[in-house]
Every structure is written in structure tokens, then in C-alpha cells.
Amino acid sequence: MRTLLIISAVVLLSACAGTGKKAAITTGELTQITGELASDRFSGRGTGTGGDSLAALYIKKEFQKAGAEPFTGSGLQTFAVNVAAEAGSRNRLSVDGKDYVTGTDFMPLALTSNSALEADVAFCGYGLLPSGDTLHRDDFTGVDLSGKWALILRGYPESDPESKGYATLSTDRLKVLNAREKGAAGVLLVSGEKWDVADNLDKPSRSEAGSGIPVLQVKRSVADAIVRGSSGTIADLEEKAAEAKTGAGFIAGVTVSAEAEVVKKEALTSNVVMMIRGETTPAEYVIIGAHYDHLGMGGPGSSSRTPDTVAVHYGADDNASGVALMIELAEKLAASQEKPARNIVFVAFSGEEMGLLGSKYFVENTGIDPSAVNLMINLDMVGRMKEGNGLQVAGVGTAAGLRDTVMAYADTTALSLAFTNEGYGPSDHSSFYGKNIPVLSLTTGAHLDYHTPADTPDKLNYEGMVKIGDLVCRIVSIAAAEPARLAFTEAGPKEPAAPMSRRRGITLGIMPDFAGNVKNGLRADFVTPGKPAALGGMLKGDIIVAIDEKPVANIEDYMFRLSQLKPGQMITVEVLRNGERELLLIQL
């Protein structure tokens, strides 16, 4: 990295200045490309929709005009995504001959297999097994599960301090897999009163993979009917299971006949993968990425922050801005007199809004060895630079000296940089960091138009995008030309903490000001590294004044707002920082 910092200015100037007007990153071209992507023509670029397919072809054409060529084949890397999941018509459930109603009394979970089972039921407590040297609980001791339904409580027993280590091991999937390994032929999951007082039934998730056995979530009234003859109610069993260290299970002496069916709808989508070939080190790569998919027409279940509004969600900042800047960078680098030593690969990802699907598919299926990638740079929401020219740069801790390199080539009179070391975050760079690839992720931050139809091209700061492009061009040119490789270093977790199943189990990862020293807000007295708040850019001393545009005036407001959130949800948190309002984008 020391060599990177003293690289010849001549190389930088020739690589980033270009050879003429065509090569410059201009506000005019950024406006044109962003305006086209965020127009009615592509209907919000929903993953797997016709608008998504048209946008991919448009992006490919713009890359070709810029001077990039397909990485392989046509330049489109096509893959399938689940765009919907719902309970099928074949679902049924009866307990000793009494029938129950789908959606009212029970619901198939997406990790089910589409199959039927008639068998006895065994209660298996929380469905937890020993783990490591400190967790010794075994809820399956003394129970013969062979060919039976396993009835399992969701969550973990918080009242037992020794069991709190199971917090990250208490997902529905792990419980089902535990039961399957013990011989269960099916699983019935139920929420105790202490875990979810509302006893909500979850709808099937479109992104969950099957487990190979039927899995149903049942209401407490159904579970009570199963266990009442032998051991009281689920409320009683929740108390007993929390106290027991092992062996809380028993055979219920009840026959359950059920069939589970979840119907998943698949669609095709594509990453757009283009490149500028390296001249002297063609087996190595620098990758620039930006997702192009958005929320389509919005509506319920779309992640729209206005779910009652069905309208084009234009996604100008999220993330037509990143794609437009990436295309302009391709044009600038392709026109350079100084050709790169390493290949420069440009990827417009699809499926980001559905869980980084496109970037995950890319790293697993493109054929590029992760060890051959010198650096990945992600551009996500780079179009709303505010007064003060702030730019958030995450991932500077993922390679030795990477922060110094960014600072060395940043024009600090044009940009005010805020750094985060961690390599994991709620965007596509995380898929690369998980493969031990150094990453940088650039953003100008969230805003109140995020995930609404109001994220339109007229609100972007195109002059700010040019400034960001100039910085990225310098960094890419160095990473693609300099013989010295970046040395990967681990900077924070490589995946999010396992989400909690309970509604009130959400946490941002802060130590709040319990004393209420601040009026009309809640101060973060400590922000835990690697947790959602830190990954979203929250700093010690920030005063939370709103969560998802709902006011937070005190600790009670804060706890109530958290209780309304769901695991994996993307939220906005408005904070006061040094007297100025900032909007943070945080993934739970």
C-alpha cells in the first residue's frame, strides 16, 4: 500500500483525465442516464419484471457505447429469483379428527416441503441442542421422534440466564433441522405468550429454502388442543420448558393429520456484466458494482415505505444514480491513454432489493476466483450529496492502508469523507467481503424519499456525483495498475447477526440514555461495533428523533417503535448530530 500512495501522478492524470470531451464524467450525461433509468419506461425496475429486463438491455447498450465489452457471452448473467410465495390450496390440518383453517389457525412456513403427514406428536420444548462448550441444553432427551410430528416453541427461554447464549441459535430453520436430525417427520411451531403475545401467524417468505419435511406454524389454541390431555396448555409448558435444563419433552398421545403446501413463483432476471480488459495482468480484477433493481410499482410486501400506494417507485437515487455513475466511469476509463494492467469489471446487479441476490449469484457463479480480485467498489445511492459535500465510505478496514489510499486521492476541498471500517453492510459489497475481497462502499446517505415514489431524478445533485466519480476513478486506476496487491483484513462480521423471531426482540445495538438527559429525543450513549446502528452510520452521541418517520421523544417511544419492527427490515432513523438532522438507513 505504501507503493500505492506514491504512484506516479502521470498515470492518474492519464487514466482519469481522458482524451477528450467524450471521456469526461459530465452532469449532462449523468442526468440523461439517470433520467432514463428512473422513468416510467422501466416501471420502477422491479426484480423479475418486464421493466427489469428492459432496464438490463438499456444498461448493457450504454456500457457498450461507453467502450466496455461483455465479460462473457452477451454480457447478461441470467438467474432465477422467487418473486412470490403463498399458501397453496392443499393445506389442511386436523387434530384427532377436528379440522382447522389455513390462515386463521395455522400457516405453512416457506421452509416446508410440499407433503403430507399423519402421525403422533411429541412436544420438544424449545427444540434446542447442545452447542460448543457452554451451551448444554438438550430439549430432545428422552423423546423418540422417529416418524412423528415435533411440536416446538419458537424463540428461546429468556428467563434462564444460561439459555441466553441460544439467542442466535433459535431461528425456525435451525429448530426444524434439529428436529429432522432427531428423526422427526414433520414440525409444528408455536409461539408462547412470552415470545409473541399477539400470536401472529407468519406468511411464507419468498426467499426461504425448503427443509425436506412439512412445517406448519400453529396458533396456541391448536397447540393447546394437542397437549391439553397430557400436560395442560402451551402457557404452562412455556413456563416449564424455560426452567428445565434438559428432558422437557413428552409424547402427546394425539394424532395430527396435515398437509403443507407453499406455492412459489419464479421469474428470471439478469446481472449486466461488462469489462475493460487488462493488458498485463489479465488474470486479476478490479470490480465496480451498483444495483439497478428497485421496487417496481410498490404496494404491500414490496418494502415500500408507502405500502398503501401502488405507483412507479422511480428509484432515482436508489440506485439509478450508482448505475449512471458506473457507466460514466466505464466511459472515462475506456478512453484513457493509460490502459489498466488488471481487468476492470462493471456489474449492474439485479435482486439487491430482495436480499443481495444478484451479487451473491455473481460471486458464486461467474468463475472469478475471489483471490484474483484486488478490490470491489460498490456505488449505492450516490445522488443526494447535501450541503457540506458529505460522502460515506465504508469498508476502509478491509485492506491494510485502504483508508490512507482513499484519503491520498480525495480532493478534500470538494468532498467531506466519513469512514466506516466494517466490510459488511446492507448492500452488494457484503457479498464480496464474505469472500475475503477488500471492499469500499460509497453512499451519500438515506433521505425521506427513500423507497417511495418521490425518489425522482430532479432531486439529485449531479455536480456531487461528478465529484464522487473523480475520486472513484483515481482509486480504480491505482487498484487496476499498481503491481502491489491489497492485503485483505477482516473488519467486522461477514454476515448479520441471526435475526430474532419475536417482534419485541429487535435491537439496533446501542446503549440508550436511560436517564432521559435529552428532551424530545433519545441519545445513543454507546454504539456497538458490527451491530445494525453502527453499520448504518450511527455515532455515539447521536440523538434519535424518529424511526421510519415516527417521532421518538423518549426511551418509551423508542422501545415501542422497535416493537413494531421485523427482523431483516430496512428502516430509516433520523438523528440530531451536532445540531444538524441526519437520516440513516439501517438494516435490522
For the chain, which residues make up each domain, given as ranges?
2-84+266-481, 89-260, 503-587
Residue range 27-44, pLDDT digits in tens: 999 999 999 999 999 999
Q: Which one, of 570, 264, 312, lies nearest residue 446 by Cα?
A: 570
Q: Which amino acid is at 79?
A: F
At residue 504, the pLDDT reads 39
Residue 75 CB-half CA count within 13 A: 20
pLDDT band of residue 215 (cuts 50, 70, 90) is very high
* Fold that domain 2-84+266-481 belongs to in CATH: Aminopeptidase (3.40.630)
Tell me the average pLDDT of the chain: 90
pLDDT band of residue 78 (cuts 50, 70, 90) is very high
Q: pLDDT higher for 113 or 10?
A: 113
pTM of structure:
0.74
Phi, psi of 69 (to 5 degrees): -120, 160
Residue range 418-429, pLDDT digits in tens: 999 999 998 999
Q: Right CATH number for 89-260 from 3.90.550.10, 2.60.40.10, 3.50.30.30, 1.10.10.10?
A: 3.50.30.30
Contact by Cβ (8 Å): 55, 37: yes
pLDDT band of residue 229 (cuts 50, 70, 90) is confident
Q: How many CB atoms lie within 10 A of CB 101?
A: 11
Statement: residue 357 has pLDDT above 80: yes
Cα 498 from chain centre: 12
β-pairing verdict for 262-276 and 373-379: unpaired
Q: Which amino acid is at 535?
A: L
Q: Lowest-pLDDT range, 94-103, 344-353, 531-540?
A: 531-540
Mean pLDDT, residues 390-411:
95
Q: In 277-379, where do the E strands start and end? A: 281-291, 342-349, 373-379
C-alpha cell of 228? Answer: 391439553
At residue 502, the pLDDT reads 38
Q: pLDDT higher for 332 or 446?
A: 332
Q: Which amino acid is at 125?
A: G
CATH class label, 503-587: mainly beta
